[in-house]
Amino acid sequence: MNIISLTLWTLEHNCYYVYTVLIVFFIGFTVVHKNRLEANLNRTAATKKKLARKWNSGRERDFPDDDDPDHLVPAIPEDTPHVPYKPPQRTDEEILRRSREYYELMAQRRTVRAFSPEPIPDEVLNNIIKTAGTSPSGAHTEPWTFVVVQDQSVKEAIRTIVEEEEELNYTQRMSRQWVTDLKPFATKHIKPYLSEAPALLLVFRQTHSWRADGKKKMHYYSEVSVAIAAGILLAAIQYCGLVALTSTPLNCNARLRELLSRPVNERLELLLPVGRPHQNATVPDLSRKTLSEIMVKI
């Protein structure tokens, strides 16, 4: 009996074992990737809709409920009153002047990798976090926690974790093209700014939370909400006259969450060292895309 016949014979006579292994592997794979696949439902729903119509299969929800649909209560009271909104009215001239002024201020923002160690007044940190907290969020869930680290030993512990993970990222996890594309920025796995900047702002995303009635509160669109809040945080940092480094530490979530005692429903999205620029700070001499490269008017 040659090897091929033996293999075929084994596959035939043990087919139930093989089925079991294939199915278990498939189920295991699906469970492991469940979260990502759920997110993907948004994108595949268009296709599903067409199929559903074709098969005439009636109502079918992509995001099924686990609660009794007869007893659903909104996370925010349904009878929340709507009140008139009267922000200060500005003239066309004022709007134009302010839009120019703001562009000029924001265009000076650069990602900085060398910080002066001067501490940041406490109220300034409070104000920039409060400003980030004014961001819009899916169904007003405000799915963010901002951890502000000024303690030197905690900053050093963060630096150790990030440097260890980044070394693995650069040498093993990221593609060579990615590592090459980062060369002009002179980034490397040694990150002195993590212990030198006066404050580190860690932006955590709450994937969900709990309501007063003990039910799980869903945080719709939490990724985009938290990143928008980070944009407003960066705007506040720039407006007041500080600088930051925007970073998304790859694979540091579990260790930093543990170090900072954050709950399991939180995920680290961004890590921003903040402060004044070091007197010798340099930035790569890059230009930005022109307006015609980023805007289409219709």
User: Would you state the structure tokens that stand for residue 168, as one six-digit string?
Assistant: 């693995």
Residue 267, SS3 per DSSP: strand
Q: Does 207 bind a copy of itself (CB under 8 A)?
A: no
Minimum distance from residue 230 beta carbon to a copy of itself (Å): 5
Look up residue 218 and give its DSSP letter: E
Q: Does 76 bind a copy of itself (CB under 8 A)?
A: yes
Work out whether the CA dihedral 102, 105, 107, 110 comes out positive or negative.
negative
Minimum distance from residue 219 beta carbon to a copy of itself (Å): 10
Report the distance separating Cα 26 and Cα 20, nearest Å: 10
Q: Does 126 bind a copy of itself (CB under 8 A)?
A: yes
Q: Does 190 bind a copy of itself (CB under 8 A)?
A: no
177, 212, 213, 214: residue in contact with a copy of itself (rule CB under 8 A)? 177
Minimum distance from residue 125 beta carbon to a copy of itself (Å): 8
Q: Does 265 bind a copy of itself (CB under 8 A)?
A: no
User: Would you state the structure tokens that stand for residue 134, as one six-digit string?
Assistant: 């004014």
Q: Does 42 bind a copy of itself (CB under 8 A)?
A: yes
Q: Does 22 bind a copy of itself (CB under 8 A)?
A: yes
Q: Report in angstroms the alpha-carbon separations of 140 from 77, 144, 146, 219, 223.
A: 12, 11, 17, 9, 14
The angle formed by the CA atoms of residues 119, 201 and 150, to the nearest 5 degrees, is: 40
Interface positions, 93-122, toward a copy of itself (CB under 8 A): 94-96, 98-100, 102-103, 106-112, 120-121
Q: Does 196 bind a copy of itself (CB under 8 A)?
A: no
Size of the site for a copy of itself (CB under 8 A): 160
